[in-house]
Chain A
Amino acid sequence: MNAILHSEWPWYVAGPLIGLFVPALLVVGNKVFGISSNLRHLCAVIAPGKIEFFRYDWRDAGLWNLLFLAGVVAGGFLAAHFGAHAIAISPAARVTQAGFGIHDFSGLAPREIFSWAALGTLRGFVSIVIGGLLVGFGTAYAGGCTSGHAISGLANFELPSLIAVVGFFAGGLLASWLLLPALLGGAL
């Protein structure tokens, strides 16, 4: 058991396990697996204002999903405490990321960018705050994220989701190949 928790899960174990959350939520309550709706629900809870997009009964539409989300936080905590293991990216990826100025490869994300101390630096601010803003705006505009479009939507053979997923990868490639080297490689 310990060995399973403290080792890297192969992709053919991790992927199907993630995919099983789609039927699990359907079987429990006919709910469609999708995380980003929670950002909308949280806006509806905290600051709906006079905005039509946030004026709906969030308890009725999203309480189940907000509870699921609370569970995700707890699950992250449990994994970090009972399943922590070093992430072994491929040698090629290590070279690329070292080229981005990453020296410390510990944890789930590089401390040199993702720490409170780095938040005030240009690289930290752009990665965390501008990145977060784009995640929130983009998923709301597209009506879904990796879970809602890439997994639920593609699994249900929906064209809108395929367009969204092509968009995800276009944006990700641009940021990863052009923005990050400029931002992290010191060219900015």
Chain B
Amino acid sequence: MSKPTPRRATALLALYLALGIAFGFVLTQSEVVSWYRIQEMFHFQSFRMFGIIGSAVATAAISIAVLKRLGVRAASGEPIAIPTKKLGTGIRYAVGGFLFGLGWALTGACPGPLFSLVGSGATVYLAAILAALAGTWLYGWLRPRLPH
């Protein structure tokens, strides 16, 4: 596996930035960043969010299958391979997922939207980002004592 040249590496970094801009735009336009939509979803009062998440997963799944079948290489030169997550006891996924779910409904935002909301002018979400950083730091500190 060859490392990309410095010039190519810089071009790739610019591409990540461009993709991020597109993602922030799509997140906001599709309204998945909205507290109103998140509450509507958790109260099963519209199909919209379920349709969005379901069709996003289906699109991604079909894309991954096609990329694997074609044996596509990434522009960086690496073969495309997705590392699989270790199951372990599964506790981290169940408990961590549950705690994130509480936060998702309270803030009305997952991590991507926390950042796009700040960009869209809802600057109070900066406080939520700082709190999220504190939460991640707390996890890092407690990690050796937590079941995984």
Chain A contact residues, CB within 8 Å of chain B? 5, 8-9, 11-33, 35-36, 38-40, 42-43, 46-47, 49, 51-54, 63-65, 67-80, 83, 87, 89-90, 92-93, 96-97, 100, 105, 107-110, 113-116, 118-119, 126-147, 149-161, 163-177, 179-180
Contacts and interface: CB of A to CB of B under 8 A. Distances in A.
Nearest to A74: B21
B38 to A, nearest CB: 8
Contacts of B55: 11-12, 15-16, 19
Contacts of B79: 30
B94 A167 contact: yes
Interface of B: 12-13, 15-43, 45-49, 51-61, 63-64, 66-67, 72, 74-76, 78-87, 90, 92-112, 114-125, 127-141, 143-144, 146
A67 B13 contact: yes
A176 B87 CA distance: 28
A23 B56 CA distance: 11
Contacts of B59: 15-16, 18-20, 22
Contact of B58 (A19, A107, A137): A19
A167 B12 contact: no
A26 B15 CA distance: 12
Contact of B20 (A12, A72, A89): A72
Contact of A90 (B40, B102, B131, B140): B40
B127 to A, nearest CB: 5
B124 A116 contact: yes
B67 A26 contact: yes
Given A15-B52, A138-B100, 17 more contacts: A15-B30, A18-B32, A19-B60, A19-B63, A28-B75, A28-B76, A35-B115, A39-B111, A40-B136, A93-B45, A108-B35, A114-B124, A136-B131, A138-B103, A140-B135, A145-B110, A150-B53
A131 B128 contact: yes
Contact of A119 (B24, B119, B127): B127
